[in-house]
Homo-oligomer: A and B are copies of this chain.
Amino acid sequence: MKRPYERPGRNELEDIEEFAKIDHGRHSRAGKPEAVFAEFKTPEEVVRIVKAQIERCGESLVTRASSEHIEAILKEFSDCDVKVNRKGRVVAIRRRLKEYSAESRPVGKVAILTAGTSDIPVAEEAAATAEFLGMEVLKFYDVGVAGIHRLIEPVKKIREAKVDAVIAIAGMEGALPSVVAGLVDRPVIAVPTSIGYGVNLNGLTTLFAMLQSCSSGVAVVNIDNGFGAAVFAYLIARTARL
């Protein structure tokens, strides 16, 4: 880890022989991080990719990390700032460098709501990603529509906080985004979760229900994709500040 940090060029690539071609320029070019999706990779592969990113860009974000992935990262990058969110299975790694300070990044605010308790891991994936990207996060968990009065306070706070975007996370019938989008005037990013049973079909029903929300102002990401929702919210906030 010797090379000093400097901004990669738009199309800069790095080959890690035989298994990866890292797109270091993705953030410069397309405004979004090249995160490491750990699920189909060995701890060794994840560590190798993170190392390359740290060396070149000074930071790296790992999602869907198992405890094996997390231990391997903690061991390898003991000289870095490593922030672990076990519920969300996210690890954020950063070099301890002066020039890399939070103040220099775009700032924004996002509200994250879940319908139930079981949706929280997805929410935490979103929260950890948003925080890695420099956003302020407001959390409102277990506020689903079976007791509609649970939404009164969150909606009031969201209106006051002037958030850039709302992330509404739900399993089951997935009604939360529809109701929220009928109450607030911000873009609502809906995340279906695979929580449910029977006709839930691993989240497919929730996804479909969200896609045909009777409210407009809702867009949807893949099932359980808390990371994608946070990146999208970040792009909204970033665009507003450019």
| Residues on A facing B (Cβ under 8 Å) | 11, 13, 18-21, 23, 25-26, 29-33, 35, 39-41, 45, 115-118, 120, 141-150, 162, 164-165, 172-175, 178-179, 181-187, 189, 192, 194-225, 227-229, 231-232, 235-236, 238-240, 242
Contacts and interface: CB of A to CB of B under 8 A. Distances in A.
A164 B235 CA distance: 10
B187 A198 contact: no
A207 B205 CA distance: 9
Q: Which 7 A-B pairs have the closest CB atoms?
A: A31-B185, A198-B223, A175-B175, A240-B240, A219-B219, A40-B118, A205-B208
B13 A214 contact: no
A212 B222 CA distance: 6
A16 to B, nearest CB: 9
A23 B222 contact: no
Given A13-B149, A212-B205, A39 B197 contact: yes
